[in-house]
Chain A
């Protein structure tokens, strides 16, 4: 898994790439949380999933975990650019009601 980020105005953009599964999630979780903690004053975090070649239900747990962390800081969360496979899982789990797709 790879993680890149940028700040655009009041938004933190997080770009995930690689394969997100139970094996890879630990490291990316730690890195994402450090990034969120370091940008706690912003209003929103946008997770860009364009580079994700694979994601299973581990991704749902990961995204809900980050949603809860952002909420503690009063930050909103959004998703963008999931591929068809990720989109199917995100729709099925109802995640878009917590973190809209933009």
Chain B
């Protein structure tokens, strides 16, 4: 088992830092390129949500917690921002609360598609936490090779 905790202010320039830091941590699990790309994208979506939605009106801290358990990579991305009014609606593809800003509304759909497990905990005024996991390493293929 290995662990990593990352905490940074909700500035948009930290999006690239966060996804690349998580990718560097994930490299210890020897992921395929496609797994690495999937995780980076899911992290970018979750961190962007914290910055754009969670802390829309104020700056705050974003926390990323990563853990490896055998072949499973677990990640938790949380903010202490304004929370989500209606989680069920937010999970619908193409749903966005900011339609005037060219937001696609596909962030949660991408997280759900690119990771194996996904859940979100949020309530208004209490922040949002996204929990995701992904099995890493196509071991059978590697053993065969």
Contact = CB atoms under 8 A, between A and B. Distances in A.
Interface of B: 12-13, 15-16, 19, 33-34, 37-38, 40-41, 44-45, 48, 51-52, 101-104, 106-107, 109-110, 113-114
B22 to A, nearest CB: 13
A56 interface: yes
Interface of A, secondary structure class, is helix
Which 8 pairs between the two chains have the least Cβ-Cβ distance? A60-B104, A23-B12, A61-B102, A85-B37, A61-B104, A57-B106, A56-B44, A65-B102
A93 B106 contact: yes
A93 B106 CA distance: 7
B109 A21 contact: no
Given A85-B37, A92-B110, A62 B102 contact: yes
Contacts of A92: 106, 109-110, 113
A60 B109 CA distance: 12
A64 interface: yes
Nearest to A56: B44
B135 to A, nearest CB: 17
Contact of B15 (A22, A61, A84, A85): A22
A5 interface: no
Nearest to B43: A56
Nearest to A62: B102
